[in-house]
Amino acid sequence: MANNGQAQKVILTCSECLSRNYSTKKNKTTYTERMEIKKFCKKCGKHTIHKETK
């Protein structure tokens, strides 16, 4: 199990079609706000902003 100080798994969701495409890790103590990354969505077929979900 991960401690609060270590990297934890987060899921990224497309802001347009709301499909959950990517999963990554982030350090929750260093970065407290939610991630927003521009990535390619396979369902939309274009680059869109992907936001962190629970």
pTM: 0.77
Under 8 Å CB-to-CB from 8, ≥6 apart: which residues?
2, 25, 26, 27, 28
| pLDDT tens by residue, 9-46 | 999 999 999 999 899 999 888 888 898 999 999 999 99
pLDDT at 31: 83
Decide if pLDDT at 4 tops 80: no
User: Helix (H, G, I), strand (E, B), or coil: what is residue 22?
Assistant: strand
| pLDDT tens by residue, 39-50 | 999 999 999 999
- What torsion, rounded to 10 degrees, do the Cα atoms 9, 54, 39, 22 define? 50
Domains parsed from the chain with CATH numbers = 7-53 (2.20.28.120)
